[in-house]
Amino acid sequence: MSSTGMSTTGMRGIRGATCLQHDDPREMAEAVAELLGEMLTRNGVQQEDVVSVILTCTPDLTSAFPAAGARAFGLTDTPLMCAQEMDVDGALERVVRILAHVESAIPRSQIQHVYLRGAEVLRQDLIP
């Protein structure tokens, strides 16, 4: 916060994750669009305030790039990067994770991270 007590606009990170039922390109695109939409809506962020996005998938998702879903959602001029999650024994399967870097005046402590479609188990500490 600034000396006036008002939050200043700056870079914020918004995390999210979602699970897929199947390794299917259509389901991937739908789940990514749903998750991005919730991440932006819950935090009052406009698409033009998204600076860049990192998207990851668990190793069992190979049918499509999650960035294709982000492009279909409307992030056509936003830098996107896809990567594969670590393959950890016993980890939740068919998970897409997103880290969006956004310009926002929301204090970091008030950012709402979003977990959908069964991914809520990843961060039960964040679920109200």
- DSSP class per residue in 48-82: GGEEEEEEEE-TT--SS-HHHHHHHHT-SSS-EEE
Helices and strands, number each (H, E), in the chain: 2, 5
Phi, psi of 20 (to 5 degrees): -105, 150
Domain boundaries, the chain: 11-119
* CATH class name, domain 11-119: alpha beta
Active site residues: 15, 71, 82, 85, 97, 115, 123
Per-residue pLDDT of the chain (128 residues; tens, 9 = 90+): 444 455 688 999 999 999 999 999 999 999 999 999 999 999 999 999 999 999 999 999 999 999 999 999 999 999 999 999 999 998 899 999 999 999 999 999 999 999 997 778 886 665 55
Of the candidates 74, 77, 84, 72, the residue with the CA atom closest to the CA atom of residue 40: 74
pTM: 0.88
